[in-house]
Amino acid sequence: MSRTPLLAANWKMHKTVGEALEFLDALLPALPAEGPEVVLCPAYTALAPVVARCVETPVRVAAQNMHQAESGAFTGEVSAAMLLDLGVEDVILGHSERRALFAESDEALAEKLPTALEAGLEPILCVGEDEAQRDADQTAEVLTRQIEADLAAVEPEHLDRIVIAYEPIWAIGTGRTATPEQAQEAVALIRERVATRDAGAAERVRILYGGSVKPANAAELLAQPDVDGALVGGASLEAADFAAIVAAAAR
C-alpha cells in the first residue's frame, strides 16, 4: 500500500517569531511542488504567525504538546480548542523529552489521543526506548507496552488517523543514529502491534523515524519499506538542511 511520506520539523524550544518567519522565507521556495507532506512544529509563541505564513501553501503546522482537558486550572497548558483556534492541524504527543523531563505518562497519553482525534487534530505519537533498554534487548517490550497503553482508548477505525514516530531515545541529539536496519526492525514491530487491533489500519498508518536524522543519512533511512517519513529535531532548525531531508523523501 502506498503511504504518503510525512516530514515533521520539531523546533523544540528554539526560534522567536522573527526567526521562524525567516526560516519560512528560506524553506518554502525550496520545497518540491509535489511530494511528501511537511509539518512544522514551532513553539507556542510562534504558532499563529507560522500558521498565517503557511496559508495557501501545502505546509501544515503542529503544536508540540496539548492537555487532555477542555479547560481548567492547568497553569502553563493549552487545550485542543485553543490550538484549533490558531489554525493548528497537528500535535506531537508523548515526545521522549515530555516523558523524561515532565513525567508525561502513558495514562495521560491514553486520554490525549482520543481528545486530539475528537477535536480534528492529527496526533503524532512518539514512542521509543532509551539506551539502557536498547542494550538490555528490551526494545520490543518497551514499544509494545507504549503502543498498547497509549492507543488503548482509540477506536480501531481511527487508528490510521494517528501518525506514529519511532524515536530511539539513545539517538536523539546524541549524534548516534539507528542503522537503517534497526529503524526498519522497530518500525515494522510497531506496525505489527497496530495490526493486532486492526490489520487494515496497520497498513495505512504512517510510521516515522526520529533520531539524529540529517541530510547525510535521510535517504537511506527513508528508503526502508516501513519508514514513512521522519520527525526531525536539530537538522530542522536550518532551512537548507530540512529542505534536503524533504527532497530525500521525494525521490
Q: Which residues are catalytic?
A: 95, 167
How many C-beta atoms surround the C-beta of residue 54 within 10 A?
A: 20
Distance CA 48, CA 187 (A): 33
How many C-beta atoms surround the C-beta of residue 154 within 10 A?
A: 20
Q: Which helix (H) or strand (E) holds 222?
A: helix 215-222
Q: Which residues contact 180 (CB under 8 A, 6 or more apart)?
A: 220, 221, 223, 224
Distance CA 68, CA 77 (A): 10
Going by C-alpha positions, the residue among 230, 234, 226 that lies closest to residue 248 is 230
Residue 171: phi, psi to the nearest 5? Answer: -115, 10
Distance CA 42, CA 12 (A): 7
- Which segments within the chain are labelled E, that is strand? 6-10, 37-41, 60-63, 90-93, 122-127, 163-166, 207-209, 229-232
Q: In whole angstroms, how far apart are CA 81 and each of 33, 66, 95?
A: 31, 10, 21
